[in-house]
Amino acid sequence: MMRAKVVAEVEIAWKQVISIAACKEILIDETKTNTALTRFQTQLLDGYDLLILEAMDKADVKQIITERLFIK
- Look up the pTM and report it: 0.58
pLDDT score for 32:
86
Using a 10 angstrom Cβ sphere, with 0-12 exposed, 13-18 middle and 19 or more buried, the burial of residue 54 is buried
pLDDT score for 20:
87
Instruction: Kindly give the parts of the chain with pLDDT less than 70.
Output: 67-72
Cα separation, 29 vs 10, whole angstroms:
30
pLDDT score for 69:
53
pLDDT score for 58:
81
